[in-house]
Amino acid sequence: MTFNNVSMTYPRLTPLMAPWVTSLISQQELLDQAFQQYGSPLNIHHTPAFADNYQSYVAVLQHHELRHQIFFARKANKCKAFVKEAQRIGCGIDTASYRELQQCLELSFEVDQLVLTAAIKSEKVVRLAVSHQILIVVDNLDECILVNRIAQELRMSARIGVRVSGFHSGGQQLYSRFGFSLDQAMELIIHQIGPDRMFEALRFTGFHFHLNGYSWQERGTALIEVIQAIDALRERDIMTEFIDVGGGFLVNYLACKEEWHTFIETLQCAVRGQHVPITFLNTGLGFEMVHGQLHGQLQTYPYYNELPREQFLEAMLSYQNSQGEAVASLLRTRDIELRLEPGRSLVDQAGTTLAKVAFRKHDSQNNLLIGLEMNRTQMTSSSADFLIDPLLISSTVDTRSSEPTFGFLVGAYCLEQDILLKRAVVLPRIPAIGDIVCFPNTAGYMMHFFESEAHLFDLATNLVLIHSEDTQVPLQLIEDI
């Protein structure tokens, strides 16, 4: 089969590649040394990409003359390198656990540059936050009771943001397990928080929400509802400093719109039985046949999209209320600070995962399986699959096969399901043992969110790529510590 024939049968999903990844994968000696020292897989990070992404948000916020603050949601990636880079460039950190917060405090972050949004707040993390006067985003009344009690014990007050949800969009109420309804939040802020009230040690500072999904329209609607609540509070002389809109700003992973649509159409045909399977055991990634009809929808991240990052923010700020006033103008005229907590999009193109080929075999259905020295928890998000083409980097010139081929990448856990990508991947040839497979753009959730140490495998080592302006100085990889 020619490469074109294989590609026509198994649709390609060409990734957007950062130039630093292209130059890294051409450095065979550097990579060999790193694998020898740290094993496989390796996560390699690049902090300048983080700074560029941050600046792209700042530019939009400045253009709209909005008071603003950006907090990196570090749950998207565990590396300290990004936290240090955030500190260097003036970006705050959204922390979701005791250790996330403690590490930031150890790095001497300014108190105002940190926020605690943890979904479950232990007494220990609340004590740490209150004692350092870190803003705590409260989700429910039990948390208010806990934060109030700890603040009283410490003879301090606690700055709180109130998380809200249940906004209305497209004629429906958006469900969330998080937050108060706006009505409950108003009751809390007007009647229960502050001196001589039930929660006398709490100080209301602002509203917070984080919406599931990737709709800028829903975020626009939510902002308008919160701004109405802020106006009602102002009439009672209760001032609101900020609205924090959480994260969810899109990332575009793919170079080509047509490839994305072709992939979805081909997947649907395969699930209907009208095309050879293009996924492992013909898994539908959300599509399924019920009584002879195709049902469902793609249950993956929208890997191709046309309003990523700062364009998504721009669209959200341009969203208009029923009087035709844009969100940006509503915020500006009220002098409300807009806060963002991007996670995935701040580490867009800032990390890649590399793994060694361990074996090649054919299964009983004659599928080529390529075993990699990694497991699927080392490249997994909540999405049903990571829909990008990996790159094959040759260790040697393999004489056995130079024919283009397709196959499935499989991992080290003893599970039938330890399939690294459910989609069949097209490769220029059967890989050789010791070849490297590169998965681009994995820093946002893919490499860290679900990683586990089952079978006592070590977690992947996180390395940071250092390069100088001077192209004569060789690239360097250092441990993330």
Ligand X SMILES: Cc1ncc(COP(=O)(O)O)c(C=O)c1O
Residue 76 engages ligand X in binding (rule: CB under 6 A): yes
Candidate segments 9-17, 84-92, 224-232, 338-346, binder of ligand X by CB under 6 A: 338-346
Q: What is the distance between the alpha carbons of residues 357 and 315, in angstroms, rounded to a whole number?
A: 43
**Pairing relationship of beta strands 405-410 and 368-372 according to DSSP bridges:** parallel
The residues, ordered by sequence, that sit 6+ positions from 403 with a Cβ below 8 Å of its Cβ are 1, 429, 430
Q: Tell the burial category of 277 from Cβ atoms under 10 Å away from its Cβ (0-12, 13-18, 19+).
A: middle
Among 248, 302, 351, 390, binds ligand X (CB under 6 A): 248
The residues, ordered by sequence, that sit 6+ positions from 160 with a Cβ below 8 Å of its Cβ are 135, 136, 137, 138, 144, 147, 193, 202, 203, 204, 205
Residue 435 engages ligand X in binding (rule: CB under 6 A): no
Residue nearest to ligand X (CB): 247
Residue 301 engages ligand X in binding (rule: CB under 6 A): no
Among 12, 210, 356, 422, binds ligand X (CB under 6 A): 210
- Residue 438, CA atoms < 13 Å, CB-side half-sphere: 25
Q: What is the largest CA-CA distance in the chain?
A: 81
Q: Which is nearer to ligand X, 64 or 74 (CB)?
A: 74
Please, what is the minimum distance in Å from the beta carbon of residue 427 to ligand X?
A: 31
Residue 341 engages ligand X in binding (rule: CB under 6 A): yes
Q: Which is nearer to ligand X, 242 or 249 (CB)?
A: 249
Please, what is the minimum distance in Å from the beta carbon of residue 459 to ligand X?
A: 21
Please, what is the minimum distance in Å from the beta carbon of residue 305 to ligand X?
A: 13
Residue 351 engages ligand X in binding (rule: CB under 6 A): no
Please, what is the minimum distance in Å from the beta carbon of residue 88 to ligand X?
A: 21
What is the Cα 154 distance to its own chain's centre? 35
Nearest to 344 by CA among 479, 243, 449, 218: 449
**Pairing relationship of beta strands 405-410 and 461-466 according to DSSP bridges:** unpaired
Candidate segments 19-27, 167-175, 245-253, 327-335, binder of ligand X by CB under 6 A: 245-253
Among 343, 351, 371, 440, binds ligand X (CB under 6 A): 343
Tokens of 20: 């630093």
Residue 446 engages ligand X in binding (rule: CB under 6 A): no
Q: What is the distance between the alpha carbons of residues 159 and 157, in angstroms, rounded to a whole number?
A: 7
The answer to whether 300 and 205 are in contact (CB under 8 A) is: no
Residue 345 engages ligand X in binding (rule: CB under 6 A): yes
Residue 249 engages ligand X in binding (rule: CB under 6 A): yes
Candidate segments 41-49, 184-192, 279-287, 343-351, binder of ligand X by CB under 6 A: 343-351
Nearest to 160 by CA among 189, 183, 119: 189
Q: What is the DSSP string of 194-244?
A: STTSTBTTEEEEEEE---SS--HHHHHHHHHHHHHHHHHHHHTT----EEE
Residue 342 engages ligand X in binding (rule: CB under 6 A): yes
Please, what is the minimum distance in Å from the beta carbon of residue 213 to ligand X?
A: 10
Please, what is the minimum distance in Å from the beta carbon of residue 244 to ligand X?
A: 8
Tokens of 25: 């994968």
Residue 344 engages ligand X in binding (rule: CB under 6 A): yes
Tokens of 209: 């929400």
Q: What is the distance between the alpha carbons of residues 321 and 165, in angstroms, rounded to a whole number?
A: 18
Q: Which is nearer to ligand X, 10 or 50 (CB)?
A: 50
**Residue 342, preceding peptide bond in cis (omega within 30° of 0):** no
Candidate segments 180-188, 302-310, 337-345, 394-402, binder of ligand X by CB under 6 A: 337-345
Candidate segments 17-25, 54-62, 339-347, 362-370, binder of ligand X by CB under 6 A: 339-347
Residues 85-104 that bind ligand X (CB under 6 A): 94
Q: Give the three-state DSSP class for 83.
A: helix
Residue 348 engages ligand X in binding (rule: CB under 6 A): no
Residue 215 engages ligand X in binding (rule: CB under 6 A): no
Q: Which is nearer to ligand X, 34 or 118 (CB)?
A: 118
Please, what is the minimum distance in Å from the beta carbon of residue 168 to ligand X?
A: 21
Please, what is the minimum distance in Å from the beta carbon of residue 344 to ligand X?
A: 4
Residue 376 engages ligand X in binding (rule: CB under 6 A): no
Q: How many residues bind ligand X (CB under 6 A)?
A: 14
Q: What is the distance between the alpha carbons of residues 436 and 392, in angstroms, rounded to a whole number?
A: 6
Please, what is the minimum distance in Å from the beta carbon of residue 60 to ligand X?
A: 15
Q: What is the distance between the alpha carbons of residues 321 and 225, in angstroms, rounded to a whole number?
A: 9
Residue 73 engages ligand X in binding (rule: CB under 6 A): yes
Q: Tell the burial category of 471 from Cβ atoms under 10 Å away from its Cβ (0-12, 13-18, 19+).
A: exposed
Residue 308 engages ligand X in binding (rule: CB under 6 A): no
Among 11, 15, 206, 246, binds ligand X (CB under 6 A): 246
Binding residues (CB under 6 A) for ligand X: these are 73, 76, 94, 117, 210, 246-249, 341-345
